[in-house]
Structure 1
Amino acid sequence: MSVIYSSLTSIINKISDAIHESFLFTLIFTILGFIENQWVNSYFKRFYPGENFLNFLNRNVVLKEYLFHPLIVLLVFALFLILSLNSPSTSLAITLAIAFVSFFIGSTVLPKYFLNRNLEKIIYFDRKDFYSIGFCLLLVSIIFFFISVASVGGIPLLKPSIRYLLKPIFTMPVFLIIPGTCLIASAYLNDFQAEKITRSQARFRFLFLLAIDCAFLLLLGYRTPILAAFLIIIIIGFYGNIVSLWEVVLGALLGISAIIGIGYFRSLGEMTITSATSPIYTLQSRADFTLHVLNLLDFIGGNFGVTHGHMLVSSIPGSDLGPRMMVGKLIAWRTEVTVTPTLIGQMVVDFGKFGVLIGMCLLGFILGIGFKLMQKTKDFAYIGIYSIILTYTILGVETGILDIQVLIYFILAIFIYFTCIKRSISN
């Protein structure tokens, strides 16, 4: 496996170096370097609040150390349930209790027994590899953005109706901008940790990456990937001491506002609501519908499930039905619609309450090990890896972890984490 990784990263590094040395990108990075220099030395920077702004937040040890602990997933899940206009059924309440308890055990209890020694033997990644892979992913996503826009003959944000004409074969590569941003930001964090760049330079580069993500994803009319970009940048910046605690709070509010705003104006454009409707109603109705779907899935799944892994396997490209289309077929016999099943929807349909018990415990364990590795090593790579799997778990509270690219992120994280565990317990 190490030979494959070395060969692959060698090729990607050469591609990245060749692109950077081209005239176009030399010009682009020269301009960006000039703008960065102006930013760092700007007179107006002194008017921006410092780290001690809203200092009462910094006095809270729990917020400073455990703000993005895996248990934040349960908090978000609970808020999502509260947001719904209706209550879960008795059977679903039992399933949710199983999910919460098993996730707590997996994320908080089990990791205590692993990675307590021999941390010098775990995998450590090269900064250049992270940057080159991220840079190439970013370029691929931008190329496919223009292909997607050309294929529908317009910009979905300006013409919401054409968003449904977007082809997944073109839009899926666009979402590679998220892991690309994660890897590049992690590389910049390494530069900051090694004192190759200042905190101001790192902050500028983080903001620039976030601006690129928001620009391309917003034009396609997607909300969830924008929130993913916000979360990843915030988590990496927070644990890398690049972003202050008060900025995390502000960023969270901006992210939520962006979701509400984009959903509200898109609903107005599609004439599904009127201007007199509360902007938060779009979130409430969406949460209520998703909870109703989960109620039905819980009834269908029972204790041991009905599809026995077929829903998870349907995430593989080329399947007759995607996982969310399969949900539509199960609850309404309609295969032309996609329905979000929440974080536990796939687990309960595939393997019932028993599947929720095992699945949530395993998911919690992966996040718990990732959090422990990140805290113990302070390594840029493990901060980046944890940020991306935590981000997609939080977003999966509504959507589920069902997209093939997201599943690949988790598979890679699992492989890395279990390799680290194996190395740490070896003599």
Structure 2
Amino acid sequence: MKIEKIDFFQPGIIVVAILAFLVMGYIGSFNYRFEDPLKLEVILTVIFACIVFIIGLAIVKYKIDFKQTKEIDFLSERLLIALVVIALLLQTLNLVLIGGIPLFNSVLKSNATTNIWRIAYPLFLIMINILLAKYYDRKYLILVLLGALIFGLNGYRTSVLGILGSSFITLYYLDKISRKVGIAFIALIFLGVMAIGYIASQSIATQHWTLNPLELIFYRAAFTLEVFEKIIPLAGSTHGHILGMIFSSGSPRTFIGEYVLHYTVCLTSTLFGPVYLDFGLVGLTIQMLFMGIFLGLIYKLKKGIGIGIYSIILTHTVIWIETGPTDIMIWFLYLLGLILIVLNLNYINLNKN
């Protein structure tokens, strides 16, 4: 198969990303965190989750198809540009009201995800990808870079990865990625994520890091998988409490830190940790099956604004591999995908053979 014919961003990339994260964590467990490497139970559980995800994809691939897709034309170019600019202005206002740049101050960072940010980030993310998907113009890449910079000042790598990653995938499916642009974009994503993670870690007054930016990535993977390792014996013990916190109030990651490590700390626990702590292996199976089916359906609807929506959801699912699906704001992005599916229900073709 020629490399030009490979679709690098089909939903199966999630499995590749999960396994890559597992390998990075295993390597990191030797060098930076553990006296012993990751337990076999962790590795087998992650592999099991990947298999279930693949089954979900297979169900969609061989049983469900769309005869055509519904065009959505009510979003004009001017409206999309205006909404992108509004989102940038809101985030700028957020930084002003916070009183500084959270990237360089851990105290400010802890208060950076305000209600203004919760509106500004998804608004920018959605509108910039739809703008690229419907009305691509090279000049709009300036808005992408500006957004990555302004939201990156909040000190969270996920914002930069979300903006640059989703925009890259949108451009990929628009066939606007030349070799030079592709290399530059990937380098920018890699360097941006490393730089923000490293700068933010150095700004924590109570911690003193000696790891370089690359070592820090392996350390974070190892630590996150260590948290999941500690969750496995506690399977199902929170009885849906974390799920309830996601869709109500509170901080699920802080709760996980208190429940698992017994001290107040905001923890990432992998894509599998929260659901495993709430519902055990059964919950993990349902979640991964759902994600496989859902991403498989959205992938088949990647036309017009569907390209932008698929790019957003795929990128943030990749991000969840480390952070875990504990943000209601990101579940809102999944809701966009659900709306897209509902709008196209009339075009579904079930393959019964």
Q: TM-score range by the shorter chain?
A: 0.7 to 0.9
- Matched length: 339
User: Equivalences for 1:265-284 in 2 at 5 Å?
Assistant: 265-270=199-204, 272-273=207-208, 277-284=211-218
2:134 is aligned to 187
Query: Shift of residue 394 of structure 1?
Result: 0.8
Query: Shift of residue 287 of structure 1?
Result: 1.0
Change (3 A) 1:246 1:76: farther
Query: Shift of residue 102 of structure 1?
Result: 0.7
My pick for the range that moved more, 176-185 or 415-424, is: 415-424
CA distance in 2, matches of 1:259, 1:306: 34
User: Equivalences for 1:216-295 in 2 at 5 Å?
Assistant: 216-245=150-179, 247-270=181-204, 272-273=207-208, 277-295=211-229
Query: Shift of residue 339 of structure 1?
Result: 1.0
**Does the 8 Å CA contact 1:157/1:218 hold for their aligned counterparts?**
yes
CA distance in 2, matches of 1:338, 1:268: 17
Q: Could you state the TM-score of these two structures normalised by the residue count of structure 2?
A: 0.87
My pick for the range that moved more, 163-172 or 343-352, is: 163-172
1:324 is aligned to 253
Instruction: Give RMSD over aligned pairs.
Output: 2.5
Query: Shift of residue 350 of structure 1?
Result: 2.0
State the Cα deviation string for residues 305-361 of structure 1 (Å, max 9, x = none). Answer: 2334331221125x2x22212211220233x43211211112212221111112111
Report the 3-state secondary structure (helix = DSSP H, G, I; strand = E; otherwise coil) of the residue aligned with 1:373. coil
User: Equivalences for 1:104-123 in 2 at 5 Å?
Assistant: 104-115=54-65, 118-119=67-68, 122-123=69-70
Query: Shift of residue 225 of structure 1?
Result: 0.8
Identify which of 294, 299, 317 aligns with 1:371. 299
1:73 is aligned to 14
State the Cα deviation string for residues 342-393 of structure 1 (Å, max 9, x = none). Answer: 111122122211111121111011111222232xxxx221111111110111
**Does the 8 Å CA contact 1:115/1:373 hold for their aligned counterparts?**
no
1:347 matches 2:275: yes
State the Cα deviation string for residues 241-285 of structure 1 (Å, max 9, x = none). Answer: 1122553344223211211122223333436445x6332121122
**Does the 8 Å CA contact 2:155/2:197 hold for their aligned counterparts?**
no
**Greater relative contact order, per chain length (Cα 8 Å cut-off, separation 6+):** 2
Change (3 A) 1:230 1:239: same
| Paired amino acid for 2:246 | S
CA distance in 1, matches of 2:83, 2:231: 36
| Paired amino acid for 1:311 | I
Q: Could you state the TM-score of these two structures normalised by the residue count of structure 1?
A: 0.73
CA distance in 2, matches of 1:80, 1:362: 21
2:34 is aligned to none
| Paired amino acid for 1:404 | I
Change (3 A) 1:181 1:292: same
**Does the 8 Å CA contact 1:367/1:390 hold for their aligned counterparts?**
yes
Report the 3-state secondary structure (helix = DSSP H, G, I; strand = E; otherwise coil) of the residue aligned with 1:115. strand
CA distance in 2, matches of 1:62, 1:355: 37
Query: Shift of residue 131 of structure 1?
Result: 4.6
Identify which of 282, 288, 312 aligns with 1:388. 312
Larger-Rg structure: 1
Question: Where do 5+ consecutive residues of structure 2 fail to align?
Answer: 30-36
CA distance in 2, matches of 1:252, 1:167: 26
User: Equivalences for 1:12-51 in 2 at 5 Å?
Assistant: none
